[in-house]
Structure 1
Amino acid sequence: MTGPTLTELSNRARDIFRLVVEGYIASGLPVGSRTLAGSGGVNLSPASIRSVLQELQDAGLLAAPHTSAGRMPTEIGLRLFVDGIMQVAEPSAAERAQIERGLASGGTIEAALAAATSALSEMSAGAGVIMVPRREPRLVQLSFVPLAPARALAVLVAEDGAIENRLIDLPAPMPPSVLEEASNYLTARLAGRTLAEAVSAIRAEIAGGRSALDAASAELVQRGLAVWSMDAAQRPVLVVRGQANLLDDTALGDIERVRQLLDELESAEAIAGVLDAAREAEATRIFIGSENRLFSLSGSSVIASPWRDNEGRVVGVVGVIGPTRLNYARVVPMVDFTAQSLGKLIGQDGFSRK
């Protein structure tokens, strides 16, 4: 269902609609005709205001949760407000400083991102999220060390000196010569590449019969690649902070929605999918309620922006998740500024790669 456009609303309907949305965002409560009449923003009687509110409700832009209550914006109404009425301001100097302090805290990348996420959560009154970039170091060597007749240790060495080990089960006892052949083959093709780059080339070579490996060595290579690929896919890619902010006073009247949202926030893989939808955006994206399938049950909104390295490549997404009454005009520039700051700082020498 789509609602009317702004040009289809009269000036007074547009003014009343804006006041209802802004009042709802500020309080989390429906806005009534008497409140609007007393605000000084509308020079109409309560009866005239009620007539306009009914028109906006009939158009699908507002809803009345109770017969005698005021109105609140629908998801369609919020989308119209965000796209056509909302005026976005720059973050304040204090807000910019708080975000930059988090990113300048030093230590590991993960620690700095966690600090920035916490700052974003605190300022937005939502849950701050950052998709941590999957680090793809250039590799030097992958070797197999025999441990038992049917077990080996896969040792991966990166150019930055990082070493990671994984235990792998062998399909059958293998002599040291097979382990050595597989190690030499992998090292020759991994050197100077990321794992993702090497895996694609190696598997194509083996599948095409161009590897000159015997069956046992080829099986070992495939197992070695599988354990590292699986490990990379299962690494956490998100930093989430501020779930407690979702439990404010207005949430107590809608505890089931909040419970549903907290359950949704437990799924790192699902949230990563949500943020991934913003990766190709040129600017900050806003998903309101059911516009995103993951948060359709809790009726929550997502404000997300991609962040890029100094070569312009997207390496992650930062955002805020919260109720649909998020202060979009304030949160959007915060998220955008955080994304820009991440792009400037990530990869600089101030971040430890350990």
Structure 2
Amino acid sequence: MILQPGTGPVLGDVHLTAAPEHVLWGRLPCAADEPVLEVEPGTAVTVDTISHEGILEDQGRDPAAFFGAHGVTEVLADAVALAASEHPHRFGVDGPHVVSRPVAVAGAQVGDLLAMTLLDATPRVPYGVISNRHGKGVLVGEHPLGGAPVFSAFATVSEDGTHGLLPLTPGAEPTVAFPLRPFLGVMGVAVAGRQRPHSVPPGRHGGNVDIALLTAGSTLYLPVQADGGLAYVGDPHFAQGDGEVSLTAMEASLRATVRLDVVAREDALARFGELVGPLAETAEFLVPTGMDEDLDLAVADCVRAAVALLQARFGMDPSLAYAYLSAATDFRISQVVDVVKGVHATIRKSDFENDPAAPRHALRTRRAPAAGPAEP
């Protein structure tokens, strides 16, 4: 089934479409951006997201033609509208990602955490694309083969909707099946100031974190940098392996429902300590992160974040926390293709008898001040 604009179920309290006026392309929101919505904490927002694959300039900026060449007879109308619009996307200057314009959460202020919980991620199409471009990916200069500027692998979805399918050789019938685990590669809060950041490198604001664990039921906690939080999402994935080595994962459009909550500073400190970057939580794991252009430094930052989290959450001695992490915790490469490399740790919550930090969302009421227009 194709989830066109205006069709299918909307699970959230409010619905944000992917009409051109509701998205940014290649840049992330900043504090000067006017929110497209303002909601109360605890609100579930359903967002229609558009994958950048199939609409980029080096793919023709014509999704009907691009996907039609693979036998697709129906493409998303909002993807066609964005590609055909005068939306100010500067290919080679801006990033590729399509992200929602920001949603303000009443009461969120600098010092708090914004909690973004993915409640549902429903595929809008039964196909996706995995791409590699020259100068990108891990094997720069080796791939794409044959000198082509871009290689795009077209992937389909199994009839039961559980697996992605690829052929062993170009043009053959798809016989390689891998599990689908839909998630949003981009989840973030606006940066301070008036300059919109590039959509590719992740950072303290979140953004293009590309953590494949962030499937439905998971929460991403982000330090608020602008009053109102100004949350946004994008870069929908159907599946990704840790590392995302070729450049993209199975990129494809989702209808995502995200609950937005505010964790007041005093509660945040009790539960997590002083966060210097994104922290995720799943039913099973606490997931601190580390990010740097140097992968070694990203790992070190992630270990420091994990030690600090264990101190704050459980009162664990730092030397014992360091030892515990070595014996019991996996440190995974989130991605290595977004300039700033990412590492995340998977700390099992069940390893600890007592968790004194039960979730509490202390709310504030101060509204974000008005700001002038943002700059690219």
TM-score by length of structure 2 reads 0.20
Bigger RCO (CA 8 Å, 6+ sep): 2
Q: Which has the larger radius of gyration?
A: 1
Richer in helix (by share): 1
Q: Name the structure with the higher strand share.
A: 2
